[in-house]
């Protein structure tokens, strides 16, 4: 076979046959179904148990998260109320101190006397 085209066709046909045989062998249609592996059954049972536990944990986390957000809203409201009270008190103190005391105070001191001792 000296034709390059013939060689390419033969190579392509060989690859197709190779992959078809590979697929048939991998599928094992002639073999009886294998008995269930106890390790596999144990893994399936454990997976089901873990999925159930995950659902329960997610419920608990959701409840705690909701309670946290509720407490956070209450706390933020308390903080805002305390800040408002503090601002109101500061304004009252500023108003009271401005009205009660004069803005400038003049102090007269006696003359300074220096005494020397030797």
110, part of any domain: no
The pTM of the full predicted model, rounded to 2 decimals, is 0.46
Distance CA 3, CA 7 (A): 6
114, part of any domain: no
118, part of any domain: no
Mean pLDDT value of segment 105-118? 79
Q: Element (H or E) spanning 38, and its range?
A: helix 38-100
> Which residue range forms the structural domain that includes residue 90?
4-28+37-98
Residue 1 has pLDDT above 60, yes or no: no
108, part of any domain: no
First-to-last CA distance in the chain? 135
116, part of any domain: no
Between 114 and 103, name the one with better pLDDT: 114
Distance CA 46, CA 51 (A): 9
Distance CA 51, CA 25 (A): 36
10, part of any domain: yes
107, part of any domain: no
Per residue in 7-46, pLDDT tens?
999 999 999 999 999 998 888 767 666 677 889 899 999 9
Per residue in 64-106, pLDDT tens?
999 999 999 999 999 999 999 999 999 988 877 766 656 677 8
Looking at residue 60, what is its pLDDT?
Answer: 98
Number of domains in the chain: 1
53, part of any domain: yes
């Amino acid at each position: 076979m000296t034709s390059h085209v013939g060689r390419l066709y033969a190579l392509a046909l060989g690859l197709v046959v190779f992959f078809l045989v590979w697929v048939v062998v991998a599928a094992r249609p002639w073999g009886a179904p294998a008995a269930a592996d106890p390790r596999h059954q144990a893994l399936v049972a454990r997976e089901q148990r873990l999925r159930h536990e995950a659902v329960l944990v997610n419920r608990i986390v959701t409840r705690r998260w909701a309670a946290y957000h509720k407490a956070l809203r209450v706390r933020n409201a308390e903080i805002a109320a305390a800040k408002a009270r503090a601002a109101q008190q500061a304004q009252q103190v500023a108003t009271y101190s401005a009205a009660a005391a004069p803005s400038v105070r003049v102090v007269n001191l006696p003359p300074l006397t220096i005494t020397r001792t030797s």
